[in-house]
Amino acid sequence: MQSTMQDVPLTVTRILAHGSTVHANAHVTTWTGEGAPRRRSFAEVGARATRLAHALRALGVREGDPVGTLMWNNADHVEAYLTVPSMGAVLHTLNLRLPPEQLAWIVRHAADRVVIVNGSLLPLLAPLLPHLDCVEHVVVSGPGDLSALEGCRPQVHAYDELIAGSPAESYDWPELDERQAAALCYTSGTTGDPKGVVYSHRSIYLHAMEVNAAASFGLKPGETCLPVVPMFHVNAWGLPHAAFMAGTSLLMPDRFLQPAPLAEMIESERPTVTAGVPTIWQGLLAELDAKPRDVSSLRTVVSGGSACPPSLMKAFEERHGLTLVQAWGMTETSPLGTVAHPPPGLGAEEAWPYRITQGRMPVSVEARLIGPGGETLPWDGRSAGELEVRGPWIAGAYHGGADGEPQRPEDKFSEDGWLRTGDVGTITADGFLTLTDRAKDVIKSGGEWISSVELENHLMAHPQVAEAAVVAVPDEKWGERPLAAVVLKDGSSVGYEGLRAFLSERIARWQLPERWALVPAVPKTSVGKFDKKVLRRQYADGELVVTTLG
């Protein structure tokens, strides 16, 4: 028997059309630092998207062409997000925190023809342009010093003028195949070279539906979502698309990502949901502790991108009444992989052990654990192995560059097509994933594995510790042993012996670090995660002052 259902493609075009009509009155609000925030209704975004599409077509953008964005989280970026894929072109979000050479490499690898850039980021882009032969047009959004672009080869346009000068009549949006490329994002390169992940219309659409599911973040009409996670970090975790689907207003922080303006915008704009990496929340916590604000509008604070210390979750809850919800994902997983909502009906104490896991997969994400010998491990909450996943918004390959074929490196994709995440953990019978480490960060001490994440979580629960990162360092006797790099809070008096004693009440003796270093800050990656690669190098180069306890 054949299905009698219509086969209508799932596209970003549909998300744009739906949001800008059915949810015409929802808003994108962009924080401006000083003065009133700028508001733009979803209807206005839709109207401007039409003009932007005409303008980009006039610049020569055709189906399949990559269009780069080097932008903060703001309304113009949202317009590009929805317009570029709807034209059949490919939105390539560029990470503005990458070292310039890496950024240039990525633009060339993707062969971006147009780059839309915030004026405030021209000092970053302008010096790269002589090395970016592929770029034909630069479109500048917002104020900036255009003299930086004088004499540059690509043609320069002002975003608002381009929009104002383009036809307002409807754009002939193409009929797209839902499987064609819609957006491109390179991994942040915590481990190795950046790799391009190409999202399809279908993957973005299905992923946004999952973001809106009650079992995930449940965005609703009338709510406001504050994506602190940058729009260049895995499509801001799908939140802009999800918001246009659900009719949820967006509060965009632009470049005001520091704790004080974040606290201010939460107090005055009253978002209900927000999302970011743990280091952002660590900063916000310190800010709120020092200068309390009314943050009671927030029903959910999503923490993802790296392990969320349980002590941070507790502190937010006890001191500010905020609920942190942990989620796990990767650039390769769009990123929604798991969300840690406890099973229903549990009291706070019973729910806690579930909330501090990475959470459960949605129906569209299948998971398996692979042991050291390649065997599939049981979901028993004890057997630890590498997590592999598959599903309709999980990458099956990497972008091979302008003329290259997609790449399927063996260490990243199994023979039968699953994504090897490089994350190590356990899964319980009812599907709760607990990650103990990245495979590359696991400490292999005398045949036993020590979880760096577990040690970090315990250390960060110490009242005098601001941050702590634990890495493996070579050891003659044991192969590897843990080194703890600790950032103390101002005015702290605790010494290494005190920290070690604190740990010894919580973990087995053989896991206790002997090597300790005080550092002014834990090095961070371009998306704010602990950069353990840098710590290991600093140790190897003798840059850390290390104290060894007997």
Binding site for ligand ADP (CB under 6 A): 187-191, 304-307, 326-331, 358, 421-423, 435, 438, 527, 529
CB of 481 to ligand ADP, least distance (A): 22
CB of 192 to ligand ADP, least distance (A): 8
Which CB sits closer to ligand ADP, 30 or 187?
187
DSSP, residue by residue, 108-138:
HHHT-SEEEEEGGGHHHHGGGGGG-TT--EE
Q: Of all residues in this chain, which one has the CB nearest to ligand ADP in the complex?
A: 190
List the beta bridge partners of residue 156: 138
In 299-432, which ranges are E strands? Answer: 300-303, 324-329, 336-339, 366-370, 376-377, 385-390, 419-427
CB of 451 to ligand ADP, least distance (A): 11
Rg, Å, the chain Cα set: 24
Which CB sits closer to ligand ADP, 29 or 436?
436
Which CB sits closer to ligand ADP, 9 or 523?
523
CB of 329 to ligand ADP, least distance (A): 6
* Residue 193 C-alpha from the chain's centroid: 17
Q: With contact defined as beta carbons under 8 Å apart, do 190 and 533 qualify?
A: yes
Which CB sits closer to ligand ADP, 52 or 367?
367
The dihedral formed by the CA atoms of 403, 405, 409 and 412, expressed in degrees to the nearest 10: 100
Give me the residue label for tokens 């974040």. Answer: 262
Q: With contact defined as beta carbons under 8 Å apart, do 386 and 424 qualify?
A: yes
Residue 262 and residue 394: Cα distance in Å, rounded?
A: 31
Which CB sits closer to ligand ADP, 188 or 224?
188
CB of 283 to ligand ADP, least distance (A): 18
Residue 519: which region, alpha, beta or left (left: phi > 0; alpha: psi -120 to 50)? beta
Say which DSSP state 409 is in.
-
CB of 311 to ligand ADP, least distance (A): 15
CB of 149 to ligand ADP, least distance (A): 30
Which CB sits closer to ligand ADP, 247 or 329?
329
Residue 55 and residue 87: Cα distance in Å, rounded?
A: 11
CA–CA distance from 173 to each of 6, 21, 411 (Å)? 20, 16, 39
CB of 437 to ligand ADP, least distance (A): 8
CB of 47 to ligand ADP, least distance (A): 34
List the beta bridge partners of residue 181: 200
Residue 387 and residue 394: Cα distance in Å, rounded?
A: 13
Neighbours of 529 (CB within 10 A): 18
In 414-541, which ranges are E strands? Answer: 419-427, 433-438, 443-445, 448-450, 465-475, 479-488, 515-518
Which CB sits closer to ligand ADP, 69 or 188?
188
Tokens of 95: 């990470």
User: For residue 126, which amino acid is it?
Assistant: A
Which CB sits closer to ligand ADP, 262 or 330?
330
DSSP, residue by residue, 65-91:
-EEEEE--BSHHHHHHHHHHHHTT-EE
Which CB sits closer to ligand ADP, 11 or 190?
190
Q: Which residues are known to be catalytic?
A: 187, 332, 444, 449
Q: With contact defined as beta carbons under 8 Å apart, do 207 and 334 qualify?
A: yes
Tokens of 65: 């062409």
